[in-house]
Structure 1
C-alpha cells in the first residue's frame, strides 16, 4: 500500500443554514478547482468516541442515488472534519418555504423526490434520523436532494438503531416511548416535513424559539395541528 497525505485548501465564504445540531455549513471556494462548493464543518469533540470520524462521509458515499446529495471528498485538521459537497444556488427546501408558499405541484414534486431518497436508504438498512426541510437541497435541475447524514445509523439485523440526539421540533412519538427505533422514525419526520411544505415554517419556528415540542404535544398528536391548512391545500393532500 502506497499511502499519500495531500493538502486540500478552501476559503470559507459565507455560513449558511441554521438548524445544524452539531455542525456548521458554509459556501466555500475550492482553491484547487476554482469553484464554489459547500463545506460542512464538524467539530471532532461533538463526535461520539465510539464513532469513526468519517462515518457520515462513508454513509453518504455508500448511499449514492439521484436524490441523495453527492459527497465530493472528506478531510480533516486538528479540530474539525470537513465534508465537501456541490454548491447549488437554489439552496434548501427550508429557504424556499421561508420565501413563499409552495404550490401543490411543487409540494408533490419535491415530496416525491425526497421520499424516493428515503425509500432508497431504508432499503439499504439506513435510518436518517434528521429529516427536515433544511436537510433537503434543491439542485440546479430543480430536484430535491436529501443531505446531512450526521445522525444516520445502520440498523441491526432486526431493523433497529439508536440515536443520541434529536431536532427539538421534529421529535417523534417513539422518541419518548422507546430507546431503539425503526425506519418509521423517518416516516414521521417525513410527514412533518410535508406538513411544513403545505403550511410554512412559522408554527415550527415559534416552537423552536420556546425550546421545542413537549412529550404531551407529540404523543397525543396535539402539535402540529392536523386540521390547520392553508386554503390552497386540497383535501386529498391534507389526508
Structure 2
C-alpha cells in the first residue's frame, strides 16, 4: 500500500485525527512516520486548503525537541503528513514501567518548555500537550509529536462534522480550553504543568469517571501540592508546578522561556534546595461557571434536561446548583430536530462570574426545559380514566465507537446501534464502553415517532 510516494510498512497507532504508519521514502531512502487523516476529516475543499497551508507552516519549525515535518501531500481524497520517524517511547509508556527520578522529570519539563517557547514565538500553539505526545529516547532527549495538528482543525469544520468532540485530551486541558475560550501559549504551559504533576506524584491532579466531573474539577478545584512518595520533593519545584496550574492564565508563567528558566534553577538545585518562586494559585476565589462542557452529541426531538456525574467531586458536599441550557449538535440530514441540554453547575460565589458562551455548532435550536432537580419518570404520565392508547416513541441510539453498552434507567438495553421503543416520558440514558469515559444524560421523549441519539465517546488517556 502506498500514499503518494511513501510505501507503508506497518501501522503504528490510531488517533482522533487519523492513522499513523511506519513508511519508507524511496526518494531519500529513509524511514518516516506517515500520518494519514481519516476520510471523514476531509470534508470540504476549503478545509483541505487550510490544512495544507497550516501544515506547511508547521513544517518550517526546526527545533531539537520538536518532531520534524518532512512533507505534506494529497493522494486523491487522502491527506497525509510525512514526519521524522523516532526511536523512542512516549512518556505514558515509560512511566508505566517505573517512576522517573525528580531530576529526570525536571529535565523533561525543561526540554518541553524550551520547545514550546520556540513554537509559540512563531505563532504555533500545540493544544494537546500530554504524555503520549512526548517521546523520550534512550539518551534522555524528548521530542514533541503531533505539533500543531489540533491548531490546524478549523472550528467551523469541527462543528459541522464531528459531534461531541473537542480539541485536546480532557485531563490535560486548561480551564480556558474547557470553557471554549480563545487559548494561547499559556494553555500549553498549563498542560505541561499537569504532566509534571503526574510524573512527580504518580497521579493526575484532576480525574473522574466522566467528562463532566473532570471539567468541573479543572475549572474550580485546587489540587493538593505535589509531593513524591518519599516526601523529599523540593519546595521550589512543587511551587513551580502549582504556579503552572493557576486557573487564570495571568497567574501562570507568561512564556515557555520563563518556565524553562525556573526549571533550570530547580535542576541546578537538585539537592532539594528551596528556591523562592513567584507565587501559587490562590485557594480562594470565585467559582468559575462551567459553560458548555459536555462531550456529547445528543440529537433528536426529545429534550435533554440534565447531564449527571456518576461520581461526586472529592472533598465537596453535594450541591444543587441552577442549570444552564446548552444547545446540542447538528443532527444528520433528514433526522428529527435537535434537542436542548441543561447542565448542573457549581453554586455561585459572592463574586459573580459571567457564564461563558461557547457555540458548538451553527445549527442549534434555542429552547429546552430548565430543571433544577433532575427527576426521572419510568414512562408516560398516567392516562385519563378513558384509558387512551399508550403513545410510544422510537429512540435510535448509535455511538462512535460502536458496540457500547446502553442502559435506560439503569436497565441494560443492548449495544449500539440500538433501536428502543419506549413510552413518552423522561429517561436516564447511560452509554459505556471499556477504555472510554462514560456518557450519561437525561432525555425527555415528548413526541411520538423517531428520536435519533448520536454519541461520540472520548477515550481515556
User: Does the Cα contact within 8 Å between 2:59 and 2:68 map onto a contact in 1?
Assistant: yes
CA distance in 1: counterparts of 2:27 and 2:207, whole angstroms: 42
CA distance in 2: counterparts of 1:132 and 1:220, whole angstroms: 21
CA distance in 1: counterparts of 2:77 and 2:205, whole angstroms: 33
The answer for the alignment partner of 2:122 in structure 1 is 124
User: Which structure is higher in strand share?
Assistant: 2
Q: Structure 1 residue 184: deviation in Å?
A: 1.7
Stretches (4+) displaced over 6 A: none
CA distance in 2: counterparts of 1:187 and 1:212, whole angstroms: 23
> Which one of the candidate residues 1, 6, 11 is aligned to 1:9?
6
The answer for the alignment partner of 1:214 in structure 2 is 214
TM-score by structure 1 length?
A: 0.76
User: Which structure is higher in helix share?
Assistant: 1
CA distance in 1: counterparts of 2:213 and 2:119, whole angstroms: 27
- Cα 1:90–1:218 shift into 2, 3 Å: same
CA distance in 2: counterparts of 1:212 and 1:194, whole angstroms: 23
- Cα 1:56–1:195 shift into 2, 3 Å: farther
1:180-237 residue CA offsets vs partner (Å, 9 max, x unmatched): 222221121111121222234x658974x64475332011125xx3335332543332
- Cα 1:125–1:29 shift into 2, 3 Å: closer
- Cα 1:35–1:125 shift into 2, 3 Å: closer
The answer for the alignment partner of 1:37 in structure 2 is 32
Please tell me whether residue 46 in structure 1 is matched to residue 44 in structure 2.
no
Q: Structure 1 residue 91: deviation in Å?
A: 2.0
Residues matched between the structures, number: 219
1:4-36 residue CA offsets vs partner (Å, 9 max, x unmatched): xx94031241323x6x33222233344555543
- Cα 1:65–1:183 shift into 2, 3 Å: same
State the superposition RMSD in angstroms.
3.0
The answer for the alignment partner of 1:150 in structure 2 is 149
TM-score by structure 2 length?
A: 0.42
Higher RCO (CA-CA < 8 Å; seq separation 6+)? 1
The answer for the alignment partner of 1:237 in structure 2 is 237
- Cα 1:204–1:41 shift into 2, 3 Å: farther
Task: Using the TM superposition, name which of 84-93 and 139-148 deviates more.
Answer: 139-148
The answer for the alignment partner of 2:72 in structure 1 is 74
